[in-house]
Amino acid sequence: MRAAGLILGLGLMLQAPVVRRPPTKPVEPNADETQQVPTIRVETRLVNVAVNVVDKTGAPVGGLQKDDFEILEDGKTQKIAYFERESTTPLSIVLAIDGSESVLRNERLEKNAAKHFVNALLREQDELDLMDFSDSVREIVPFTNSKKRIENGLNEIQRGDATALFDAIYLASDRLAETKTDAGRRRVVVLITDGEDTAKRTRYGQALEQAQRAGAMIYSIIIVPIAADAGRSTGGEHALIQLAQDTGGKYYYVEDPRDLEPAFARVSDDLRTQYVIGYYAPQKEKSGAAFRTIRVRMKDAALKDKYELRYRGGYYGDGK
């Protein structure tokens, strides 16, 4: 499914399309130009991978060096071309808030928690896009670094009956795919939701693929009435957990709106303690759109047993 067609169908207001102009009449080359040797251009793609390293207690591990890691694509070791510890690399974040009645039970607490998250996390080099989703997906504030604009946008969240969860993930990822790729920029989707997609338009697989194409990490703050309730539907929760695992993100359960702020703080801490490892994608005989798997591991055998690594599982060869 084409991103543009889906966006139009869901009514999300994005930038105007780029105007394509017809080619001008070709100019005949002169004799000297026809004798020149053609230049061969080889495109290389820097693949950046955000990596979280934790010990057995789940505490982040700092102070590791470039030589402590090795990275593989489709089973073959790649040379690390870019490395940063405890990352200060720029962030492009989509904050997508579920506006369904089942989630917005205490709007004041939820909006205040989101405001505190934005104020604590957003730095000069970062940008954030605010969306809400219920029956459809709305982009309330396009990418900005203005905390004031985002705070004002949080006051405009609208309630609805349905939950277009996978639509929101797809469209958030599509917007992230348009952002810059400078200086190891990381792309993140932060969702506040109860996890159940009731709109039934975009499918799970489509949402996951779009996130992987954008290189987006999905962080889900899952609102549940009682986490241990055996009678509740957990299909949506399981989908969000799998999305987090496949994209290198994380998920958190929240039973009480007062726990939203600590959950946001954990997302912020997670993003602040990441390593960013970059390598140049190898040229393939058949590049195409095939999915390429990524594996990151510690070189030292003792560290392999000591630490756990979390990162995205791969990317598409024709992605951005």
- Amino acid at residue number 49: V
Question: 157: closest CA among 132, 183, 130?
Answer: 132
Which neighbouring-strand residues pair with 84?
A: 276
pLDDT for residue 312: 96
- Work out the average pLDDT over 85-95: 89
The residue ranges of every structural domain in the chain are: 46-86+277-316, 91-272
pLDDT in tens, 249-270: 999 998 887 888 999 999 999 9
* Residue 127, phi then psi, degrees to nearest 5: -145, 150
- Amino acid at residue number 216: A
pLDDT at 14 over 50: no
Q: Give the global pTM.
A: 0.83
pLDDT at 34 over 70: no
**8: confidence class by pLDDT, cuts 50, 70, 90:** very low
For domain 91-272, the question of CATH label 1.10.10.60 is answered with no
pLDDT for residue 5: 47
pLDDT for residue 7: 46
pLDDT for residue 104: 61
Give the E-state strand segments of the chain in sequence order.
46-54, 69-73, 76-78, 82-84, 91-98, 127-133, 137-144, 186-193, 216-223, 250-254, 275-280, 291-298, 308-310, 314-316
Locate 138 and state its tokens.
Answer: 């709305």
Widest Cα–Cα separation across the chain: 80
pLDDT in tens, 207-253: 999 999 999 999 999 987 655 555 555 678 899 999 999 999 999 99
- Work out the average pLDDT over 132-148: 95
